Amino acid sequence: MIVDGFFIAGAVVTLLAAIICVVAAILKHGPNDITILSLAAVELFLLVYAVAGIIRQVSGEAVAGETWEFWGYLLTALLVPVAAFWWSITDRSRWSNLVLGAAAVTVFVMLVRMEQIWDGAIAA
């Protein structure tokens, strides 16, 4: 798999957010500014990634896999942090931090798949 800067940045942001949220859950804290903002950073990254994807495609860089599949993953990934955020503001228990952490891990996995689709790598 070819690794580009967007993937590395996304991996760092998503995994750091997951660690922050899981540690907060282990410490029995409810969702707070730090955990919610860590997931907001994931959403911000995805928005930048979407804009960069549009720019890359408009400038002529083709997606090696199916274009609809890449954009489907990206649009779904954009919804995951939003859903986790809503969960965390309706359920203020420490378990909401695990939901936030799971959302970050889910976005990481989707990011890996988007990178495979973009670069044409075959899943091992």
pLDDT in tens, 82-123: 999 999 999 988 899 999 999 999 999 999 999 999 887 655
**Domain locations along the chain:** 5-119
Structure token digits, residue 117 = 């689709």
What pLDDT does residue 123 have?
53
pTM of the model: 0.91
- Note the helical H segments in 27-94: 33-58, 67-90
Q: State how far the Cα of 73 lies from the Cα of 7, in Å rounded to an integer.
A: 14
- Measured CA distances, 106 to 60, 77, 88, 112 (Å): 29, 8, 16, 10
Written as six digits, the tokens of 39 are 């997931």
Report the sign of the C-alpha dihedral through residues 83, 107, 40, 44, in that order: negative
